[in-house]
Each structure stands twice: as structure tokens, then as C-alpha cells.
Structure 1
Amino acid sequence: MNYELRTKNCKAKGFTLIEFLVVLGILALTVSSTLLFLTSVLRGSNKANVIAEVKQNGQVVLESLERQIRNGVDAEQVGQVENNTIKIIRQDQSPLYIKCISNASLNGYIGSVTSSSDPTGDGQYISMTFKDDLVSGVDIDCPDNTDIATGCAVSVIPSSSGGISPPVVSICFYANQAVQAPSRQDFQTKVKFQTTISLRRY
């Protein structure tokens, strides 16, 4: 009699298999939900950091272009590819050439070179990109067809008849993560930069 009572008391103090499985399921659900939340937060943070970095690098390129172009006295479109290369004529200095340059295995970039004659190759152009590292740098989207919807374009709007108003340079480009950046979605971004610059002519 006493033995049976003790056995019943021992059984009453334990957990059944079903109770254990229910607790285990709730715990697993809680842990997985927490991990999903933390992963989402980290991805959002990565994306925000990548966008901020690309914007910063693209803005550096844009400001450098504005500074160099605005001091020109005249501008003209050059080269055989439309909206690809412009020539800035400067007072008492050799002309400045600016070109959208693409490369299948390297970051695309906007390059500039000071030359008294038309540059003969892309190798003469110096990148205006702040960071051109293949992993952590920035890629300026410059496809060969210079599609304004997806790539880089520099063009000149000529001065009005009589030369009353100066020429205007139009610039549009997309800045992306570097070509060898991680392929995860939270490391990918594309930011558009567009502006028009009126030459000062003095």
C-alpha cells in the first residue's frame, strides 16, 4: 500500500512526454523568431551602410565633376559614342576631357584627363571615384551603349545663338557596389546621380 502511494507521488512530480515536446516546440519557435528578427535587423543595417557608402562615393564624384566643369569657358561633345565623352575648354589651360569608362572585370568609372589633343585610349583617364577597390569600392555603371536609364552619360547642351547663355553640361550616372562585392541582396544597391552644370565663362 505504501509502495503504491510513493509510486503515484513520484509520477505526479514529473513531466509527460507530450508536455516536454510542447515546451520544446515553444522554445524552438521563440529562438527561431528571435534569430529571424536579429537577421532582419542586421540585413537592414548592412543595406543602410552600403547605401550610405555608395551615396558618399557618388557624391564625391559629382562634386569633383561640378568643380572642374564649372570653371570652363566652353564645352563640346567628342568621341564616336553618344553621351560618352565631353571636352571642357579652359582659359589659359589645356582642355579637360571627361569620359564614362566601362570594363567587364573592373569597376566602371568616370575618368578625366588634361590633354592638348584628343586622348587615344581609356588608359590615359584618371578615375574620379573616391574608392575603386573591387570589393569595397564603388562601380559607376557605364555600359557601352550608355543607356541613360541604366548607365552613365555626359553630354553638352550648346550655348544659345549669339552666345548669350553659356553651354550646359548634363551628367547622369548610377553608382553601385564594387563588381566583386558580396552577392547577397543586402550588399547590393544602385543610386542615381543627375545634375546639370552651367559654365561660368570667366
Structure 2
Amino acid sequence: MQLGDVDPRRCAVNKTNSHLVKIEHKRKIQALFSILEQSKKIMNSLIEALENDLVEFKTLQNVLYKRRSGVIKRIPNFWMATFKNHPDISYLFNKDVTECFHYLSKFQVEEIESDKFKLKIHFFFNENPFIANHVLSKEFSIENNNYISKSTEISWITGNKPLRNVRSKFTILGDKNLKQENFFDWYVSNTSSMDSIIVKSLKEIWENPSPYYVSNDIVTDT
């Protein structure tokens, strides 16, 4: 077909069809963006609702923790018993540490709101012959997939620093003769290889201590 033989009406139809296709494509894109915008609004509303629910949950949780703390204060050596009964950290509490922890009055795990993982663990003590501190706090964060920590310096009363235990319950890198830390050895160390296990265990105890508190006074339904 020569150029002069092209039907101008067919060209007009093709142009019209092309224009209609573009209009239809634009409508589809607009419809898609409309749905995406609605989805974004719904997601933002959901996030806002979840944040409000989370605030309400944490408020209620803190109230319950305070009530729980008031009851636990009336149970002698409650926290010490839970520490010694937890299978992953019981080895930290030798005889000397246990004697010191008879004076433990309160235990608390505090999760700090931050872009990165941050956690504080607090140990509150009544007046005792071992340490002058009323509170010992150890703060954890994670950098390069490793725990790093800093802790309140312990003010020991002369002659009453607990000794290191003999052997570790855990074997690290296959070394069965590895020396074991007691609680205070772990507390003052900022590079303990056992941090992940110990932190996880202390969080478990804080969130729900009942499985680790064993007493003949507990009555359960049968």
C-alpha cells in the first residue's frame, strides 16, 4: 500500500482508540492509587489504635506489677527462691551469694523504649553485712549482634565478697574445665558470654515467676 492510499478515517480511529486506551490506563492507575491511599489510612489508623492499646496495656501491666510487688514483699526470700530454681541460672547462686540474697527486697526488669534493644535489671537490697548499695542495676544493649552492658559499681563491705564457684554448668566452646561465674562475677563483667541466657532467664522470671517458685504452702486444684 502506498502512502497516498492510507485511509484517513482509519488513522482517526486508531488515534481515538489510542487515546481511549491511555484514558483507561490512567483510570486504572488512579483506582490503584486510591486503593493504596485508603490502605495507608487504614494502616495508620490501625497503628494508632495499637499504640493506644499498647499504652493502656503497659499502664495496666505496671499496676499489676506494683500489686504483685506488694504481695511478694510479704513472702520471705521469694526472688532468691525463683533464681535458685530456674534451671539456667541456678548455678550462679552459690552459698555465699545466697547468704547475700537473703537481704534482697525487690527485683525488677525494666524495658527501655528505644530504637534499639535496651534493658535494665535492678536488684534492691535491705541493709546487710555484704554490700553497702541499696540498689544494683545492670543495663544491657545490643551492638553488632553482641550484648554490651554497664552496671552500678558494687560497694563491698570489707571481707564479705563472695568467691567464684568451681565449675560451670555450661560448656563454652567445648571447654569442660571452664571456670564458672557466680552471680556477682557475672554482674560486674561487661563481656560475659552467658549474657543472652542469663538475661532471657531473668526476663522469664520477671514476667512470670510462679513456675520457678517452689513451696509446700502452694495449693493447686486437682
Structure with higher RCO (Cα < 8 A, 6+ apart): 1
Structure having the higher helix fraction is 2
**More strand per residue:** 1
Smaller-chain TM-score bracket = 0.3 to 0.5
